[in-house]
Structure 1
Amino acid sequence: MPGHSAPLSTRRRRVVVAGAWVALALLGAGSFVGGAAFASAQPEAAVAPTVSAVPTPAPTATGPVIERRPQPTAAAAPTIVRTCSVDALASAGGLGTFQGTIREASTGSILFDRAGDQFSRTASVMKVLTSAAALAVLGPDHRVTTTVVRGATPGEVVLVGGGDVTLASGSSNIYNDSASMSDLANQVKAAWAADSSTAGSAITAITLDASLFSGETWQSSWNRIEQTEGSTAEVTALMVDGDRANPSADTSPRGDDPVARAGAAFRSALGSLASGARLAEGSAAAGAGALGSVQSAPVSTMVQEAVLRSDNTEAEMLARLTAIALGAGSSFSALQAAIPAALHDAYGLDPTGLVIVDGSGLSDDDAVSARYITLLMDKVNAREGSLGVLLDGLPVADQTGTLSYRFTGANSVVDGKVMAKTGSIDSGNMLAGVVHAADGSVLTFAFFALGSQLGSGREALDALTVGVYECGNALSNG
């Protein structure tokens, strides 16, 4: 309040502050006097010349060094725990003698293997190898040509087979986009009438040239029941309807002379122009003038038909044409050189140990390992080269082709998730393809049930495949 002195604590603070200022002033004066006295005491010689001085950096304060704990450059990938087993399913009695391999498709890592390095008969799984080789050598756009040329004698024409077993005797047959004998005959009739030297005259002889294929027309290890019951035909370069008695039926009895049947179909299509023409086998003369030609559907279409429907005759055609294109020959024996070489050169697959005696897999003498097939299936799944054509043609579980009636009931969990080639012969059942598993992983597999029965073998293979689907990438080899 006015008229009162400041409190004691306040006066003490003022005294302390004033004392501090006095001390600072005395220190400053002492420093100045001391500095002057020091300078006056130095000899004159020690006085440095006047130069522009480089300032010395002030010392940096230091403290204790803190060591950082080492840090990982990247987070460690989670470890896959493989504890899911299909061993019991792979040991089922219905499988007979089992051989099989399962791979993780993107890495090629083997997740499961039982005698997968053994080379065994394949049944129709062989068509996967044949188709892959044909796509690599012939190409997906290649078409097979059937031609008619003038013969060496008056009134003669030569029907030259190019290997097209899908050629229709009439306007159509079971094969997609097949060429027709009717179209070929119409071309010949038009050309015959347009030539003044033949117009108005009849065709008196039809020579049938099937010389493109050589050697035996029936593989000696095949069972003739396949012909009489209708699953395959003699292998010839000139044929109609796959030599089926019923062109629109998948399975239909085949004859013992496909070339003669093709000749008869051509003569019939020519109508009155050649109603009395003589049929005989022979060869076209080099440089003979063309009277007409037709082309098959592309190889891409025929490959998909061969694997979807498991068409043995179509597969044999593709195998033989592949061998011819490679210069390996035109007989059954040429396939041993051609198919392994094509798969090695196109896809880098080691041919060691492969035994290829046919293109369809009907023979017990074929020998391929499950590991080899899964390596090829990895490439099919990746659509390497033109193999996407093959992938898209594989039968789909409970939906298409030879799998349309399998994986039913409790096994229907894999509907649309398994794409695979089936195989069944008297000595076993096989299945190989791609599984899109429940956990999102993609696995390739090849299973051989050697010595199994048709019904029980297929059921056991289906159950094993469902187990693989459920395990996915957690599949254990134990």
Structure 2
Amino acid sequence: MDTPDPTVPEPGGPSAEATEQPTKLVVSSRLKLIIAAAVAFVLLGSGAVWAGAAAGDGSAEPVEVAAPTASAIPTPTAAGPELRPAPAVATVASPLRTCSVADLAADSRLGEFQAQVVNAGTGEVLFDRGGGTASRAASVLKVLTSAAALSVLGPDYRATTTVVAGSEPGQVVLVGGGDLTLSSTPTSDDSFYDGAAHLDDLAEQTRAAMGGTAITSVVLDSSYFGDPAWEPSWNRKEQTQGYMPLITALQVDGDRDNPYNSTSARSDDPVARAGAAFADELGGGVSVSVGTAPAGAGRLAAVQSQPVSTLIQQSLIVSDNALAEMLGRLVAVEGGTGNTFAAIQPAVLAGLAEYGIDTTGILIADGSGLSDNNAVPPAYLTRLFQKINAREGNLGVIFDGLPVAGGATGSLSYSDRFSGPNADTDGSVFAKTGWIDTGYTLSGIINAADGSTLTFAVYALGDVGDNAKQAIDTITTGFFRCGNNLSNN
């Protein structure tokens, strides 16, 4: 409770005028009004005012004004300067960057040009030309397939090819488990895929498990992968020219005519080719047919592929399409979305979700990037490569499989890549190459000349020629030379 103010008269008490001595001084009505208003102003703060109402004869009638309650009187506060609200995030001024690659970006050889460059340490976008637009990424898509495989399958997963007992005496079933690297070459003689499993090993195990019972027939089961075996948007010349096999769960050597060469013509029936090779290993007089394994059939033999970590590196270094499709399809099967091309997109996107990067706009038609229907924004790649550079989770596997400018092997070691004036990037650009009929791409990591680390993606799309590769190398060299001083102008 507030303490009463002794200067304020109690209600019903004598007025201020009644307690004073009479005076003979004549005061004008106007002056009385002024004095009364002044007194009222002073007394308001005490809670009560006695105001004199002017009368024609100069006298004043006392009028009581009710005092406001204590709760209605605001507590006075000291006035201070008005403060501006603090920003939620402190603003840091970006340095003025002066190293421009505008002339290199205008090179007509780049066609429909898109690119983004990011400082890998800070995440700041240094250069951007259509970085947010999803477009065909060609074989750079293999990086996404690989990242999803590490997430869904794990680096130690191995694809298994088995032999089980058939439904008839002397019958065995060769069951494909999606290992496109299974080799028809002798165990002592590696195919193009170092460390691959071999059919002769599988045949020897099978004969031993049969305990001397003659093997008279082989059934080939490739049902682990569904049809179609060829993605409809692919150009058939990729098969005949030796870049892509039909995608079946059972085949040998990526279905190459020559199992030792990276590029080699592929057949129209990889399952039959594998069956014929297995029958040869078992001995003569063995019939071959296509079917499925009996439910609950006992296993007789098994061989396994290299682990996913090795398969990824074998795929990336030379841009092997068969391995990328193998990984993409296994991600779909193990991810539970199905066993067809259509099942790859939901499975890969689910696998990529682990990395916490927005996948909006990404379209995935295959595992290799051969389809024009694939679409990935350059901005997604620069963010994913930040995590690859930091070796988050198992992503260091991808870094270790990337081609290197001027390296001893891989798709950036060729004589037409980072040569001549661009050779000062040797050993400093780690990137995945891409090439399809409608464009060339490159994306990865740059250890720049100024010591900064950049992630980048460059697309040269549309009606471009083979010389787009040199234009891409040249602007990438520009990024290398500029480093963190790279200007977006």
Which TM bucket (shorter chain)?
A: 0.7 to 0.9
**Stretch moving more, 293-302 or 278-287:** 278-287
Q: Which residue of 2 aligns with 1:47?
A: none
Q: Secondary structure at 1:149's aligned position in 2?
A: strand
Contact 1:94 1:452 in 2 (8 A): no
Q: Secondary structure at 2:301's aligned position in 1?
A: strand
Gaps of 5+ in 1: 1-75
Contact 2:185 2:259 in 1 (8 A): no
Query: Is residue 336 of structure 2 the alignment partner of residue 327 of structure 1?
Result: yes
Query: Is residue 267 of structure 2 the alignment partner of residue 267 of structure 1?
Result: no
Q: C-alpha separation between the residues in 2 aligned to 1:319 and 1:79?
A: 41
Contact 1:397 1:414 in 2 (8 A): yes
Q: Which residue of 2 aligns with 1:175?
A: 193
Aligned sequence identity (%): 55
CA offset digits 1:181-207 (Å, max 9, x no partner) = 011011011111x2xxxx2x4212110
Q: Equivalent of 2:385, from 357, 377, 400?
A: 377
Residue type at the aligned position of 1:264: A
Q: Equivalent of 1:362, from 348, 363, 370?
A: 370
Contact 1:423 1:431 in 2 (8 A): yes
Q: C-alpha separation between the residues in 1 aligned to 2:107 and 2:120?
A: 25
Q: Equivalent of 2:476, from 457, 465, 469?
A: 465
CA offset digits 1:457-477 (Å, max 9, x no partner) = 001000000000000000111
Q: Equivalent of 2:298, from 289, 301, 325?
A: 289
Q: Which residue of 2 aligns with 1:298?
A: 307
Q: Between Structure 1 and Structure 2, which shows a larger proportion of helix residues?
A: 1
Contact 2:422 2:477 in 1 (8 A): yes
CA offset digits 1:160-184 (Å, max 9, x no partner) = 0000000011223100210000110
Contact 1:341 1:351 in 2 (8 A): no
Q: Which residue of 2 aligns with 1:398?
A: 406
Query: Is residue 164 of structure 2 the alignment partner of residue 164 of structure 1?
Result: no
Residue type at the aligned position of 1:131: S
Alpha-carbon distance, 1:80 to partner: 3.2
Q: C-alpha separation between the residues in 1 aligned to 2:387 and 2:404?
A: 18
Q: C-alpha separation between the residues in 2 aligned to 1:191 and 1:180?
A: 17
Q: Which residue of 2 aligns with 1:438?
A: 449
Residue type at the aligned position of 1:106: G
Query: Is residue 120 of structure 2 the alignment partner of residue 112 of structure 1?
Result: no
Residue type at the aligned position of 1:365: N
CA offset digits 1:120-163 (Å, max 9, x no partner) = 11110010000010011111111111000000111110000000
Q: Which residue of 1 aligns with 2:46?
A: none
TM-score when normalising by structure 1: 0.81
Q: Which residue of 2 aligns with 1:416?
A: 427
Q: Equivalent of 1:91, from 71, 85, 106?
A: 106
TM-score when normalising by structure 2: 0.79
Q: Secondary structure at 2:467's aligned position in 1?
A: helix
**Stretch moving more, 247-256 or 172-181:** 172-181
Residue type at the aligned position of 2:369: G
Q: C-alpha separation between the residues in 1 aligned to 2:100 and 2:346?
A: 39
Alpha-carbon distance, 1:280 to partner: 1.2
CA offset digits 1:236-287 (Å, max 9, x no partner) = 000100000000000000001110011011111112xxx1222111111122
Q: Which residue of 2 aligns with 1:235?
A: 247
Alpha-carbon distance, 1:79 to partner: 6.3
Q: Which residue of 2 aligns with 1:307?
A: 316
Contact 1:142 1:299 in 2 (8 A): yes
Q: Which residue of 1 aligns with 2:155?
A: 140
Q: C-alpha separation between the residues in 1 aligned to 2:94 and 2:118?
A: 18
Contact 1:95 1:452 in 2 (8 A): no
Alpha-carbon distance, 1:452 to partner: 4.7
The runs of at least 4 aligned residues of structure 1 exceeding 4 Å deviation read: 76-79
Q: Secondary structure at 2:456's aligned position in 1?
A: strand
Query: Is residue 372 of structure 2 the alignment partner of residue 338 of structure 1?
Result: no
Q: C-alpha separation between the residues in 2 aligned to 1:349 and 1:324?
A: 23
Query: Is residue 165 of structure 2 the alignment partner of residue 150 of structure 1?
Result: yes
- Equivalent pairs, count: 393
Q: C-alpha separation between the residues in 2 aligned to 1:393 and 1:132?
A: 12
Residue type at the aligned position of 2:194: N
Q: Which residue of 2 aligns with 1:207?
A: 219
Q: Equivalent of 1:253, from 246, 265, 284?
A: 265
Alpha-carbon distance, 1:453 to partner: 3.1
Q: C-alpha separation between the residues in 2 aligned to 1:141 and 1:354?
A: 27
Residue type at the aligned position of 2:319: S
Contact 1:309 1:401 in 2 (8 A): yes
Q: Secondary structure at 1:334's aligned position in 2?
A: helix
Q: Which residue of 2 aligns with 1:353?
A: 361
Q: C-alpha separation between the residues in 2 aligned to 1:106 and 1:265?
A: 52
Contact 1:436 1:442 in 2 (8 A): yes
**Stretch moving more, 227-236 or 107-116:** 107-116
Q: C-alpha separation between the residues in 2 aligned to 1:108 and 1:452?
A: 33
Gaps of 5+ in 2: 1-90
